[in-house]
Amino acid sequence: MKKVFIFLLILFFLFLPKISSEYWTFIAIEVLIMGFFAMSFNLLMGYSGLLSFGHAGFFGVGAYTTAILLQHGFNSLFLILLIAIIVSLICSVVIGYLSVRQDEIYFAMITLGFGMMLYTIAHNWTDFTGGSDGLPLMNEPILNLFGKKISLISPENLYFFTFVIVFIGILILWKIINSPFGLILKGMRENKNRLNFSGGNISSIRLFAFTISGTLSGVAGFLFCLFSSMATPDFLHWSFSAKPVIMSILGGAWNFYGPMVGAAIFFALEQFIKMYTDNWMIFLGILLIPITILFPKGVLGTIYDYAKKRYNSKS
């Protein structure tokens, strides 16, 4: 039943650009990228119990690596992706190493600090990053697939490219949470002390989780750079780091697909509200208040729990 559902969902995503307008294809791309970003982030928040408030930093590092390489005439997208992965991996290891000994709010603070450090670098190192204006893509990104050249300027092509990369990324996350390491992460979320007294090295486990999460966020940034045809310092700002947090909470951090669903809800709301007013932030704030107060497990998580209780009491 579940497999059929997932199969149908994949089918739907495959044919989406054929049945929808270009406008909605663009929104679908954004949802896929941001949802994937939120899912990578949620490996830390939902599965490991660590709230990083600097994940936009890694996202931005992926985006800037892509923009800079494209500007300097690199034309193999796969090579660029590989380099983006390596660069965000290095950043994650270094920042992770400095952060993982902290707990809870302290962890959130220090990751926020390092994320903003990356932001200021992007913002101030004008020669290299274009400063506050950002770095537009000068060259058309072209995918070279078995000798066939596919331009990613076309929304449909970009959609499929994004879909494939995100699909692989989600598969990796899925593998990880179902591996022994995945259970260890949940154990750390539940009771890190007990894990430590069962032989788990907390700092090292956290560093691995942080690195995986940060690197995949960099991949999301790579895609986002292609999508928006530029990289700007905004991608690294701490208010951008709040997005995956909000999406995860909206969709439910304890559910694997929750953050992706949260991203879809987020963009649907944004589109809807922006039809009427420019003050989207006020509405987001007003919306967040009942969510944080009334839905301790996120919107989907709470509904899911409620349904489960109903089901259990019936049977």
Partner 1 sequence: MEGFVLNLLNGLSWGMLLFLISVGLTTVFGVMGILNFAHGSFYMLGAYFCLEIMKYFNSFWIGLIVAPLFVAILGFIIEKTLLNKIYARDVIFQLLLTFAILLILDDSVRFIWGPGYHVINPPDILSGSVKVFTHSYPVYRFFLIILGPVVAVILWGFFHFTKAGKIIRAVASDREMAEGVGLNAPLVFSLVFAFGCWLAGLGGALASPIESVAPSMGEKIIIESFIVVVIGGMGSFPGAFIGALILGLVESFGTNLIGEIQMAIPYLVLAIILLVKPTGLFGKKIA
Partner 2 sequence: MTTQKKDTILKVDNIHHSYGKFKVLNGISLEVKRGGITALIGPNGAGKTTFYNVISGKFPPTRGKIYFNNIDITGFPPHKIVKLKLLRSFQITNIFPELTVEENILIPLILKRGKCYSFFKDLKKYKEFYIEAENIMNNLGLIEFKNRTVSELAYGDKRLVEIGITFASDPEMILLDEPTAGMNPAETERTVNLIKDLSEKSNVTFFITEHDMNVVFSVSEYIFVLHQGSLLAQGTPEEIKNNQEVKEAYLGGSV
Q: Give me the residues that bind partner 2 (CB under 8 A), please.
A: 172, 175-176, 178-184, 186-187, 190-191, 193-202, 205, 208, 212
Among 214, 279, 203, 284, CA closest to 247: 284
- Minimum CB distance to partner 2, residue 47 (Å): 12
Which one, 160 or 235, has the nearer CB to partner 1? 235
- Is residue 129 within 8 A of residue 248, CB to CB? The reply is no
- SS3 assignment, position 143: strand
**Positions in the binding site for partner 1 (CB under 8 A):** 45, 51, 53, 98, 101-106, 108-110, 112-114, 116-117, 120-121, 123-126, 238-239, 242, 245-246, 249, 253, 279, 281-282, 284-289, 291-293, 296
Phi-psi region of 130 (alpha: psi -120 to 50; beta: other; left: phi over 0): left
Strand intervals (E) in the chain: 135-136, 142-145, 148-151, 230-231
- When CB distances are held under 5 to 8 angstroms depending on the partner's kind, the choice from partner 2, partner 1, none that residue 15 binds is none
DSSP character at residue 315: -
Which one, 210 or 224, has the nearer CB to partner 2? 210
Which one, 108 or 225, has the nearer CB to partner 1? 108
- Minimum CB distance to partner 1, residue 202 (Å): 13
What are the respective helix, strand and coil percentages of the chain, to the nearest 5?
80, 5, 20
The amino acid at 168? I
- Minimum CB distance to partner 2, residue 171 (Å): 10
Which one, 116 or 176, has the nearer CB to partner 1? 116
- When CB distances are held under 5 to 8 angstroms depending on the partner's kind, the choice from partner 2, partner 1, none that residue 120 binds is partner 1
- Minimum CB distance to partner 1, residue 51 (Å): 5
- SS3 assignment, position 230: strand
